[in-house]
């Protein structure tokens, strides 16, 4: 009799331990994808701060390339991808349709990408004493006229065009564009190893006031800090874009969630569904990284302090109050 009572009490204790904790603790930790670029890390920092302070959730990051982190999301080894560039993933639409992961919503949908040059290359900069060296440069096709302006240091007889990040679908498209406009005759297509290398190349050239041409996208801290011009291209058409013949569309940058996290964290999913920003807001946050030398976490916190209206849009009052109290304790 005593043994059966003891077993019943143990079962009751285990039941209460599992069920009495509430819906938001079925998954103790959320794993965020970190594929290495600044805007993703910035949005990760915002969402993680809110997860921790507003929802009491532990978080960590899974670092790797875009293919590695995206595969982790599909497998359920990672839970949240705050910034999926949908056009850069060939299987994205099929993966969504087949239910391999959930789309919480659109982070921002006013993105741009293509071939950029500093404005001073086209218009000059009187304040910096820089003369215009390619005044008629308006389109990607026009680059063919200016290989000597964008000289490749390793191959001085040709110009250098910086390509996209290896592993991104857009890199294949940019290389097709490079070939389509016959730039391969007088240019080298240089693939940077990462977005950090690409950003460093643009920054170094800009600081020196020398020409550079290459792939980039918005939003980045570069787009918020440097005056860059997106070279025009033929109007977007779906198949022609994939063949490198047109401009890139403004694609929706979505928030992806593992099916496991979607089921286990319904309240936090409501926040992710409400999470919406813009290229301008993202670039504003990224400039904090560059100008004030803040960490991603510090930049996110300062950004949230500056934009309380976003917390009102994203969060129910009880969660918002918790986050606001946590922000009051932050000293930057």
Higher pLDDT, 243 or 19: 243
Average pLDDT estimate for 41-47: 97
Provide the pLDDT confidence category of residue 12 given band limits of 50, 70 and 90.
very low
How many angstroms separate the CA atoms of 282 and 273, rounded? 18
Q: Distance between CA atoms of 107 and 98, rounded to whole angstroms? A: 22
What would the mean pLDDT of 169-184 be, rounded to a whole number? 96
SS3 109: coil
**Residue 142 has which token pair?**
């026009």
Domains 26-111+251-328 and 112-242 share a fold: yes
Average pLDDT, the chain: 91
DSSP E strand boundaries for the chain: 29-34, 58-63, 80-85, 102-108, 112-118, 151-152, 155-162, 187-190, 214-218, 228-230, 253-257
Which tens digit of pLDDT belongs to each residue from 134-174? 999 999 999 999 999 999 999 989 999 999 988 888 999 99
Query: Residue 88 has what pLDDT?
Result: 80
The whole-number average pLDDT for the span 18-35 is: 66
The arrangement of secondary structure in 112-242, i.e. its CATH architecture, is 3-Layer(aba) Sandwich (3.40)
Eight-state DSSP code of residue 233? -
Class of domain 26-111+251-328: alpha beta
* Bigger pLDDT: 90 vs 260: 260
Domain residue ranges in the chain: 26-111+251-328, 112-242
Model's pTM, two decimal places?
0.71
Can you give the pLDDT at residue 176? 98
Whether residue 327 has a cis bond before it, omega within 30° of 0? no
pLDDT digits (tens, 9 = 90+) for 63-78: 999 999 999 999 999 9
Q: Is the pLDDT of residue 25 over 80?
A: no
| Least confidently predicted of 1-15, 102-116, 178-192, 268-282 | 1-15
For 52-97, give the DSSP string: HHHH--EEEEEE--HHHHHHHHHHTS--EEEEEEGGG-TTHHHHHH
Name which residue leads in pLDDT, 332 or 100. 100
Q: Is the pLDDT of residue 252 over 50?
A: yes
What's the CA dihedral at 110, 137, 227, 253 to 10 degrees? 20
Cα–Cα distance, 310 to 302 (Å, whole number): 13
User: Is the pLDDT higher at 196 or at 278?
Assistant: 278
- Looking at residue 212, its pLDDT comes to 98
Apex CA 133: angle with CA 112 and CA 161, to 5°?
45
Give yes or no for a contact between 177 and 140, defined as CB atoms under 8 angstroms apart. Answer: yes
Provide CB contacts within 8 A for 154, sequence distance 6+. Answer: 188
Residue 18 scores a pLDDT above 50: no
């Amino acid at each position: 009799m005593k043994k059966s009572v003891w077993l019943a009490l143990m079962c009751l204790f285990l039941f209460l331990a599992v069920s009495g904790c509430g819906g938001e603790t079925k998954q103790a930790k959320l794993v965020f994808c970190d594929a290495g670029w600044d805007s993703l890390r910035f949005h990760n920092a915002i969402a993680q701060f809110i997860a921790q302070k507003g929802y009491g959730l532990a978080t960590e990051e899974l670092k790797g390339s875009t293919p590695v982190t995206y595969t982790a999301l599909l497998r359920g080894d990672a839970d949240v991808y705050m910034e999926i560039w949908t056009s850069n993933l060939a299987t994205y639409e099929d993966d969504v349709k087949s239910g391999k992961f959930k789309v919480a919503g659109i982070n921002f949908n006013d993105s741009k990408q293509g071939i950029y040059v500093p404005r001073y290359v086209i218009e000059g900069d009187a304040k910096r004493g820089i003369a215009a060296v390619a005044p008629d440069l308006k389109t990607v096709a026009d680059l063919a006229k200016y290989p000597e302006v964008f000289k490749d240091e390793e191959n001085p007889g040709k110009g250098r065009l910086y390509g996209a990040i290896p592993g991104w679908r857009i890199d294949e498209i940019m290389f097709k564009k490079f070939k389509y406009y016959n730039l391969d005759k007088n240019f080298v297509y240089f693939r940077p190893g990462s977005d950090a290398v690409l950003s460093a190349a643009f920054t170094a050239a800009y600081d020196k006031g020398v020409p550079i041409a290459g792939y980039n996208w918005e939003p980045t801290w570069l787009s918020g800090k440097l005056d860059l011009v997106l070279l025009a291209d033929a109007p977007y058409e779906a198949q022609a874009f994939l063949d490198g013949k047109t401009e890139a569309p403004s694609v929706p940058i979505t928030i992806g969630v593992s099916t496991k996290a979607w089921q286990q964290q319904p309240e936090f999913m409501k926040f992710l569904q409400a999470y919406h920003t813009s290229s301008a807001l993202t670039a504003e946050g990224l400039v904090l990284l560059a100008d004030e030398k803040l960490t991603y976490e510090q930049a996110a916190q300062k950004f949230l302090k500056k934009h309380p209206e976003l917390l009102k849009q994203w969060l129910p009052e009880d969660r918002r109050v918790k986050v606001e109290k946590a922000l009051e304790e932050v000293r930057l």
